[in-house]
Amino acid sequence: MNQLHNLLWLLPALPLLGAIVNGALSLAGSGTEKGPSRPLSGFLGTLASGSSFVLALLLALRLHPGEVFTQAPWTWIDAGSFKVSFGFAFDSLTAMMLLFITGIATLIHLYSIGYMSEDRGFARFFSYLNLFLASMIVLVLGSNMLMTFIGWEGVGLCSYLLIGFWHHDHANGDAARKAFLVNRAGDLGFLLGTFALMSLMGSQASLEYSVITAWFRDAAHISLLGTGTGAGLLTAATLLIFLGCTGKSAQIPLLTWLPDAMAGPTPVSALIHAATMVTSGVYLLARLSSVFVLSPLTMSVITGIGIATALWAAIAGLFQNDIKKVLAYSTVSQLGYMFVAAGIGSFDGALFHVFTHAFFKAALFLGAGSVIHAIHGEQDMRRMGGLAKKLPLTFAVMAAGWYAILGLPLGAGFWSKDMILEKAFEHSPLLYAFGLLGAVVTALYMTRLMVLTFFGRSRDEHAAAHAHEAPLTMALPLLVLGLGALTVGFFWAGMIPGMDSFRQMLEPVLGPAQQALAHGGEEHHGSAMLFAAVGTLAALVGASAAWKIWGGNAKVEAVGSSAPKGFGAHWTYLFDYLHALVILPTKALSWIGDKIVQTVVFGGLIALLQFLVELLGEAVRALQRPRLRVNLGVSLAGLVLLIAYFLLGAW
């Protein structure tokens, strides 16, 4: 039994193997007329993911509170006192992340078998999905920041590959590149932050989370960090790492890539851009919580960015007509709530919202995918309507997701989002007010989505007439996730005593940091019910307003593309405009590089070099001419030189 934790390496290795095998299948089958065998690669991909889940489950069940399974197959960097191991660490935080990552990934693999069934790149798709899963597992399982960085880059790469999966369309390639480049900007922050952290620790520098955590919990070190350069460096380090988190988790200012990432297949949007990858920023904050709590400024910045993103994205979600874009902005907005929770020191609350959000957002995305699949690729909600009767299962699952994200009683969001709002009120009533406003807007755009898609009359008779319910492989994950959206909240039902297994599980990892920040035990027991009531009321206000505006048979004309127009477009693309400003100097530099450096400097150098070589060639050519006398003369001259050299010794 104890040998089990020696199998940590298998967790990422299994999906990696799946990726390799599927990649080989894809290559081998690409020349044939039918393409690679779809059942085989679908089965292998799902099996790889599923076995990782089972292994993670077995490990999690054997993990005692406060215990950490570690395994370091080899040392990676060994430079004097500075060592980095290629190591894995499995504590309760990792266990929690791994369980929902591998669990939801398995469901989405299963779903993809149905969703991608008519796609020629089937094996390639599963190869990428498995590779993504392997990277994600490395990200949360790595025992040091470098390992996390491998996963961090790996998921970025897979995100790029999967967004641009249908690369025959140029726009998809653009979206993929945008996602990759914006993420690179964040990655730079991650790296610089890591270096800053190392220089803070001086001679004891280490990248191992255990060492970092212990160092920053040491009272002697904390007092050093209170003032002067130490404090400045700490703020810089945490802000830079947070910049990395904003890149991965699509927060202001690096959020523009996520809505564009919807160009990828819908299972990808559900897995990567809603449930798992985008939450890695929150994971990193929680993992380094002991460092972050020492910098009040950074914590305030995180809170501010979080609430601003939550509100901005929620409003942007209102302007979208593309069903997946609505969900994308919704994801950005919900991630904002998670950062609010982390910023006010409730890392477990943030992770709990990560956990519940993974379920209900995956359910919503897969439901949206089922709708898109049913009406043959149409994503514009203005061309949907009245689909509830045609797609009862999809409707039920999306309704469950809708119920959960609104935070209506006993749904998943009811427990996680209301808890964040409650914590926000303890922090500052203003923050709470903004959060509540965000909740109202959330209810508005989600209800709008449901109404436009499922109710009213059908606005595109042709598409609706052929609508068909999802096949079994798609229906099963939908059902599981729909159920999850309604029930996973009970892992931490704040109002019910004893129902906080989620908090207890994370306590050993996050407890010390959160206690360090807690301001003197002023707990608001008993008022939880009030907060829940207010939260529910806010959701109902939003939902009924949306029903008033878009319900019934409201006129919704589909004109042109699904992109928002007018003010909605300006609001939606606000940060794209800002990015364009930032990119401008780079563009100027590249213009200078192209026109001046390239043509004048390098062009001149190359011409000069060419001229010299030609000159030399002409000279040598004269010697090669078949002139007996010249040849003879030159060889004699050489002989004379040689003799002179040996007679006179060195010159």
Partner 1 sequence: MMGIDALQVQFLALALFGLGLATALTRRNLFFLLMGVEIMLNAANLSFVGFSRTLPGVASNDGLVVPVFVIALAAAEACVGLAMLILVFRTRESLDSDAYSRMKE
Q: Could you list the residues that contact partner 1 (CB under 8 A)?
A: 625-629, 632-633, 636
- Per-position b or e across 280-291, b if 16+ CB within 10 A of its CB: bbbbbbbbbbbb
Give 343's contacts (C-beta < 8 A, 6+ positions apart).
299, 300, 301, 302, 303, 304, 305, 306
Distance, first Cα to last Cα, the chain: 81
Nearer to partner 1, 409 or 633 (CB): 633
CB atoms within 10 A of CB 232: 13
Q: Residue 588 or residue 623: which is nearer to partner 1 going by CB?
A: 623
Smallest gap from Cβ 29 to partner 1, in A, equals 54
Q: Which two tokens stand for residue 434?
A: 């903004």
Per DSSP, what are the bridge partners of residue 208? 144
CB of residue 630 vs partner 1: minimum separation in angstroms?
9
Least distance in angstroms from the C-beta of 622 to partner 1: 10
Q: Which two tokens stand for residue 528?
A: 């939880």
Contact residues for 275 (Cβ-Cβ < 8 A; gap 6+): 100, 101, 104, 108, 357, 358, 359, 361, 362, 365
For partner 1, the closer of residues 64 and 629 by Cβ is: 629
Specify the residue, 203 or 624, whose C-beta has the smaller distance to partner 1.
Answer: 624
Q: Let me know how many helices (H) and strands (E) the chain has, helices first.
A: 27, 2
CB of 638 to partner 1, least distance (A): 14
d(CA 268, CA 479): 18
User: Closest distance between partner 1 and the C-beta of residue 617, in Å?
Assistant: 15
Residue 641 CB, shortest distance to partner 1, in Å, is: 16
* Distance in Å, CB of 611 to partner 1, minimum: 23
| Cβ distance to partner 1 smaller for residue 184 or 627 | 627
Angle (CA) 464-450-115 rounded to 5° is 55
Secondary structure (3-state) at 369: helix
**Please, which residue, 226 or 633, has the CB nearer to partner 1?**
633
- Find out whether 365 and 322 touch, Cβ atoms under 8 Å: no
Considering the complex, state which of residue 593 and residue 633 has its C-beta at the smaller distance from partner 1: 633
Instruction: Locate 245 and state its tokens.
Output: 């988190």
Q: How far is the CB of 634 from partner 1 (least distance, A)?
A: 10
Q: How far is the CB of 628 from partner 1 (least distance, A)?
A: 4
**b/e map 59-79, b = 16+ CB within 10 Å:** bbeebeeeebbebbeeebeee
The residue (of 609 and 632) whose beta carbon lies closer to partner 1 is 632
Report CA-CA distances (Å) from 64 to 4, 102, 584: 14, 21, 53
C-beta of 622 vs 648, nearer to partner 1 = 622
